[in-house]
Amino acid sequence: MAGENAIRSKVKRALRQPSNGALRWSLFRPGETGSEHRDSIIFVVLFAVCIAASHWCVARFGTIFVWPANGVLVAALLLLHRPAALRVLIVCGAVNLLGNFLRDSPAHMIVIGTALNLAESIAAAAIARRFCGAGLDLRRPRRLTAFVVLAVAPTCAVAALIGIAALRVPLHEFAVGWQTWFAADALGLIIVTPLLVLAAAHRRENAGRPTRLVEPCLLLGLVTVITLAIFLQSRAPLEFLIFLPVLLIAFRLSPIWSALAILIVATIGTVATLSGHGPMTLGVLGPVEWANAQTLRALQTLPTFQLFMMALIAVALPATTVLTERRLMAGRLRARTAAAIAARQHIAHLAAHDADSGLPNRTGLMQTLERSASGGATVFVAALSVDRFARIRAAIGSVEAARLLARIAKRLAASLPGERVALLSSDTIGLQMQCADEASAEQRLRAALAAFDVPMMVADAEVDVGLTAGLARVEGAARGIDRAMIALDQARLASVPLAWFDADTERVAAGGLAMLSVLRTSLIDGSLWLAHQPKLDLKNGRVAGVECLIRWDRPGHGRVRPDAFMPLVEETRFIEPLTDWVLGRALSDQAALAARGISVGMAINLSARSLGEPSLVARFAAILAEKAARAEDITLEITETAIMGDPETALASLNALKRLGFGIAIDDYGTGLSSLSYLRNIPADSLKIDRCFIAGMADGPRHVELVRATIDLGHRLGLKVVAEGVETEEQLALLSLLGCDQAQGYLIAQPCPVAEIDSAAIAVWTRHVSAPDDDIACAVGG
């Protein structure tokens, strides 16, 4: 909007400054050819020659065969295009000659007069066109012919009508009639044709322009008064005064007013002439005879009239040129302004919409969100992705997939009338909702998602299209969409159809990048280390092994638990060097302990991503070789979910690691989407019951039964069973009773640095279970 106004005010300013170079006040309008100056000089010289020739002819031969050629010649030359000029000249010359042969016949004047009027009309039109910049191109033969035909009717309507009326004047008063005819001729020449040309040229400029009645009435009144003055007051030169109102009508008003002006002049002229009023009445000239002295005198005034007429044209046309230029420029500017505004709107539309589907894009949705949010509404935004979209795209191609996404978006829009649906990216749909609160937003979205219970046709096949949505309340438009995207990621990770934005996730994500870069340097600067937490063998009271848990003393932040950074690390390739570092450090710690006479098996945690990495086995083998260590002394803890992402690769890696000699423990058993088939396939040695089941035992006998059943299951599969998160004596006693093999938890020990592990520490760890023999409290195990 602001842009439009700026353009409009620029246009107005440009129009207010006629001297800014666009408008030229020169007498003759310079055109494209550059020959205007030369033509102007020729125009003036020829005109002077014609006037002189008229004088000479009248004096010498008593005839005036040169006069009609004046305007014609001038105009023909001004046409610039030689062939057209030649045609006009030939016609005029022929008519002139004919006039001289027939000059004694009373009827010849009708024919010649009309033809000459016509020729001069064309000439005047050419002048008008030339000076006023009108759009009629008379240089083309077809256009010239069309114009001649068009010009005949109105030219005759005025000139011939008045002229023929003059024929009714008795022959002995012929000079009077002739002069009247001349007045008609001039009127036809000056009024009709320029009007025609200008009205035709400016019709488009005037279109749609509201006309107030004052101006047309004033101008038509002026036309009436002047015409009456010409015919009733016999003031011949007055005929040239009519020029001004008539041109103003042509320039400023619609063609209908021009037609009215023509009608007024023709009617007054005809009626006045028929009732004996002419510009040169008997009252002025007295009774005259054909070719008498007074007629001659009258004829001798002709060149003076013509001079006067041409002078008027020379002054009036350039003046009107300015008017025309201004109008044309205004029109052009208006058109350009409209085009610029339209282009700007088109560009804005393109920027805010998807080109193929026409749906709003991210920018478009952001604009809508900004508007809605600034309007004070409670706005929610959702990001939706199509489940398995990558697979669908691979199957049907990206073009069809884009179409499918647009169809889904449209279906969504149909089920949420009044809300805005957009395409956020090639696989994400955005949605704006205005709801009273979170609960109603969620309810509406769930209802909309239900619309997708009906399968969609994709590439001639019915496909169940599932959508996953992230939902956020909008506080700032851009943040709103980002938050919905984060929520969408959360929903995908948790495999739920809908998730709300959680501010903590965002904070972690924002801090995550910075954290990762610091973490990389921590591998070498010593701020990363392993804490060790013992597992107690419940059968013999010894330490069955220790689990290595990563710790990070982040500079400036204090100790950071793995839950705060491991998920982030697992999303990047940094997990590989970190896993290698953990194995290496565990082996070093193990060697350090062995040097102090404490021989203990160690367990490290493997993330899902590590397990999916084909290079894992080779890297671990290399680390073992480098440290001259045995795989048998290390247990790898993996969760069931770590297998689920890419079971084939994960199981292949596990089997290879098992062959290398590593022990395998199933971690956090019971929390994942446990599938018995995984239990069967994983080459595990032990199974760690997740701490939530251990804590849950206090809740009742059913929970205890669950733990008992799990222990039995493990045993039947030939696995050692470890209880995690043992925090109380009761839990420990119960687990012993249930036949659990090992226990790990804060009751036995908090994870601690390797330096703190000594015989005194081991004595504290093992105090809960009385060992059958006291001498060795520590044994190598998984």
Question: Using CB under 5 A as the criterion, which residues of the chain lie in contact with Ca ion when the complex forms?
Answer: 605, 637, 667-668, 724
Binding mask 477-516 for ligand C2E (x = CB under 6 A): ----------------------------------------
Using CB under 6 A as the binding rule, whether residue 664 contacts ligand C2E is answered as: no
Return the closest-CA partner of residue 115 out of 99, 97, 140, 95: 95
The binder of ligand C2E chosen from 237, 562, 584, 647 (CB under 6 A)? 562
Return d(Cα 642, Cα 780) in angstroms, integer: 26
Secondary structure class of 385 (helix, strand, coil): strand
Taking the complex as a whole, the smallest distance from the CB of residue 704 to ligand C2E amounts, in Å, to 18
Taking the complex as a whole, the smallest distance from the CB of residue 779 to Ca ion amounts, in Å, to 20
Taking the complex as a whole, the smallest distance from the CB of residue 668 to Ca ion amounts, in Å, to 4
Longest Cα–Cα distance of the chain, Å, equals 164
Taking the complex as a whole, the smallest distance from the CB of residue 580 to ligand C2E amounts, in Å, to 11
287-315 burial by CB neighbour count: b if 16+ within 10 A, else e? ebeeeeeebeebbeebbebbbebbebbbe
The token duo for 311 is 């002078």
Using CB under 6 A as the binding rule, whether residue 725 contacts ligand C2E is answered as: yes
Q: Candidates 137-145, 167-175, 213-221, 719-727: pick the segment binding ligand C2E (CB under 6 A).
A: 719-727
State how beta strands 461-463 and 467-473 pair. Answer: unpaired
Nearer to Ca ion, 166 or 604 (CB): 604
Taking the complex as a whole, the smallest distance from the CB of residue 565 to ligand C2E amounts, in Å, to 9
Taking the complex as a whole, the smallest distance from the CB of residue 591 to ligand C2E amounts, in Å, to 18
Nearer to Ca ion, 206 or 710 (CB): 710
> Which residues does 192 contact at the CB level (< 8 Å), separation at least 6?
121, 151, 154, 155, 157, 158, 159, 262
CB-based burial label for 231 (10 Å; 0-12, 13-18, 19+): buried
For CA atoms 604, 608, 610, 615, give the dihedral sign: positive
Return d(Cα 150, Cα 157) in angstroms, integer: 12
Residue 273 touches which of ligand C2E, Ca ion, none (Cβ within 5-8 Å per kind): none
Using CB under 6 A as the binding rule, whether residue 742 contacts ligand C2E is answered as: no
Taking the complex as a whole, the smallest distance from the CB of residue 466 to ligand C2E amounts, in Å, to 30
Q: Candidates 71-79, 202-210, 217-225, 744-752: pick the segment binding ligand C2E (CB under 6 A).
A: 744-752
The binder of ligand C2E chosen from 109, 164, 549, 704 (CB under 6 A)? 549
Using CB under 6 A as the binding rule, whether residue 148 contacts ligand C2E is answered as: no
How big is the site for ligand C2E, counted in residues (CB under 6 A)? 22
The binder of ligand C2E chosen from 20, 746, 753, 756 (CB under 6 A)? 746
Using CB under 6 A as the binding rule, whether residue 545 contacts ligand C2E is answered as: no
Helices (H), 629-700: 640-644, 647-660, 676-681, 691-696
| Span 567-626, contacts to ligand C2E by CB under 6 A | 582, 604-607
Nearer to Ca ion, 444 or 609 (CB): 609
Taking the complex as a whole, the smallest distance from the CB of residue 700 to ligand C2E amounts, in Å, to 20
Using CB under 6 A as the binding rule, whether residue 318 contacts ligand C2E is answered as: no
Residue nearest to ligand C2E (CB): 745
Q: Candidates 322-330, 435-443, 493-501, 722-730: pick the segment binding ligand C2E (CB under 6 A).
A: 722-730
Q: Candidates 220-228, 252-260, 648-656, 745-753: pick the segment binding ligand C2E (CB under 6 A).
A: 745-753
Nearer to Ca ion, 184 or 546 (CB): 546
Using CB under 6 A as the binding rule, whether residue 324 contacts ligand C2E is answered as: no
Q: Candidates 63-71, 348-356, 591-599, 721-729: pick the segment binding ligand C2E (CB under 6 A).
A: 721-729
> Which residues does 682 contact at the CB level (< 8 Å), separation at least 6?
638, 640, 643, 651, 654, 664, 666
Helices (H), 102-155: 108-132, 141-155
Taking the complex as a whole, the smallest distance from the CB of residue 534 to ligand C2E amounts, in Å, to 10
Helices (H), 32-132: 36-61, 69-78, 82-101, 108-132
Nearer to ligand C2E, 93 or 751 (CB): 751
For CA atoms 409, 414, 419, 420, give the dihedral sign: positive
C-beta neighbour count of 8 within 10 angstroms: 14
Using CB under 6 A as the binding rule, whether residue 667 contacts ligand C2E is answered as: yes
The token duo for 297 is 């005198």
Return d(Cα 55, Cα 363) in angstroms, integer: 80
Taking the complex as a whole, the smallest distance from the CB of residue 760 to ligand C2E amounts, in Å, to 21
C-beta neighbour count of 640 within 10 angstroms: 19
CB–CB of 352/361 below 8 Å?
yes
φ, ψ (nearest 5 deg) of residue 517: -65, -35
The token duo for 361 is 């894009």
The binder of ligand C2E chosen from 144, 248, 379, 550 (CB under 6 A)? 550
Taking the complex as a whole, the smallest distance from the CB of residue 736 to ligand C2E amounts, in Å, to 16
State how beta strands 720-723 and 742-744 pair. Answer: parallel
Using CB under 6 A as the binding rule, whether residue 51 contacts ligand C2E is answered as: no
The upper half-sphere exposure of residue 81, i.e. CA atoms within 13 Å in the direction of its Cβ, equals 12
Return d(Cα 602, Cα 544) in angstroms, integer: 9
- How far does the chain reach from its first CA to its final CA, in angstroms? 74
Nearer to ligand C2E, 542 or 609 (CB): 609
Using CB under 6 A as the binding rule, whether residue 559 contacts ligand C2E is answered as: no
CB-based burial label for 123 (10 Å; 0-12, 13-18, 19+): buried
Strand (E) or helix (H) holding 437: none
Binding mask 680-699 for ligand C2E (x = CB under 6 A): -----------x--------
The binder of ligand C2E chosen from 295, 533, 653, 766 (CB under 6 A)? 533
Using CB under 6 A as the binding rule, whether residue 56 contacts ligand C2E is answered as: no
CB–CB of 641/673 below 8 Å?
yes
> What residue type is assigned to position 29 of the chain?
R
Taking the complex as a whole, the smallest distance from the CB of residue 634 to Ca ion amounts, in Å, to 13
Which residues form the interface with ligand C2E (CB under 6 A)?
533, 549-550, 561-563, 566, 582, 604-607, 637, 667-668, 691, 725-727, 745-746, 751
